[in-house]
Structure 1
Amino acid sequence: MTDQPPPSETPASPDLWTAVDDLWTWLDANRAHGGQEGLLLRMLKLSEEVGEVAQAVIGATGQNPRKGVTHTWEEVQGELCDVVITALVALRTLTPDTREVFTRHLAKVTARSLGPSAAGEARQ
């Protein structure tokens, strides 16, 4: 038995690239700082999110004896998702061609790591 709702009750998942654009638009409309300062702060947000992953891992393992177990591995998963989302929004801040830039770079990393034939398969 699972804790997931039946397919009819599962909310529709947003398209990744549409969601990234929507989040970027919302953040851009509500930013406290513009220009170079706003750009740098958007990039620094990524470091904050990575720190939250570290905090969650430490909490999930009970590494801090004073605090004990304070997080779950599901919370670690959520924090990792926040890192990915934040990185994609930061990339969108640098270029409106986020999807193309990311896809091209993923193909390079895949080819470098798995060989050229794997990169071609990843694009299909």
Structure 2
Amino acid sequence: MKKVVSILSILLIISNFVMAVEPPKNAEIKIKTSAICSMCKKRIERDLGVSKGIVNSNLDLNDKVVTITYNTKKTNPEKIKQVISKIGYDADEVVADQKSHDALPDCCQKTAASHKD
């Protein structure tokens, strides 16, 4: 009988620890970019997809706004904007990293004329 009570006590303690773990909290942010074409879209979404804490991203080329769902425990809006800058694009008030921007294809640079894919 003592063994049964001991086992039940241990299970109760373990279940309390499991319940104490909070699920990740996701948030959404919209960031204006300097993206121009579908190559920009693929590049931004791909690179954000492998960034820590990013759950999902979708760039709308009509308004050049990327909508990002992210885990608030792993990243924040400032870090996300820095990631976009390091890819070579503006992210709201954060200007594109010049070296990364210069490495983009000519059609993806800020000075490129708007074009359809």
Counting helix residues as a fraction of each chain, which structure ranks higher? 1
TM-score range, shorter chain: under 0.3
For normalisation by structure 1, the TM-score amounts to: 0.22
Compare relative contact order (CA 8 Å, sep 6+) and give the higher one, 1 or 2.
2
For normalisation by structure 2, the TM-score amounts to: 0.23
Q: Which has the larger radius of gyration?
A: 2
